[in-house]
């Protein structure tokens, strides 16, 4: 039960960061401070930052094997993203989504490995 709490907290932090950064970038684009090409670049950077942070928090609260925690966290996020993309946008698998899913897994793994290594050094 404690692990589930940590997992839900990490997913919640990731989603909040994802929504806040997306809102900020959209707002800056709306008032013409940044261009559409920068918005497109941030569409790949934002998930990396959000899921890295979530993986970092999960790794910081875990006891061992950060890469496995990152893989589990990344797979859960991929399932949630796939369900959202399929239901909201009626998109299946395409190359852009596969790249996004790979970014999600890699950033989750990196975040949890770094988080567990920083916890062990304290």
For the stretch 52-67, pLDDT in tens is: 999 998 888 887 787 8
Tokens, residue 68: 């496995």
Measured distance CA(11)–CA(13) in Å, rounded? 5
Q: What is the pLDDT of residues 9-44, one digit of tens each?
A: 888 998 899 899 999 999 999 998 888 888 888 888
């Amino acid at each position: 039960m404690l692990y589930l709490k940590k997992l839900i907290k990490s997913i919640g932090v990731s989603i909040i960061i994802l929504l806040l950064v997306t809102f900020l970038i959209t707002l800056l684009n709306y008032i013409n401070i940044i261009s559409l090409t920068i918005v497109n670049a941030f569409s790949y950077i934002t998930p990396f930052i959000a899921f890295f942070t979530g993986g970092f928090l999960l790794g910081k609260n875990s006891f061992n094997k950060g890469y496995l925690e990152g893989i589990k966290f990344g797979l859960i996020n991929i399932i949630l993203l796939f369900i959202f993309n399929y239901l909201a946008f009626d998109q299946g698998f395409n190359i852009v989504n596969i790249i996004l899913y790979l970014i999600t897994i890699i950033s989750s793994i990196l975040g949890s490995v770094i988080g567990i290594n920083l916890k062990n050094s304290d």
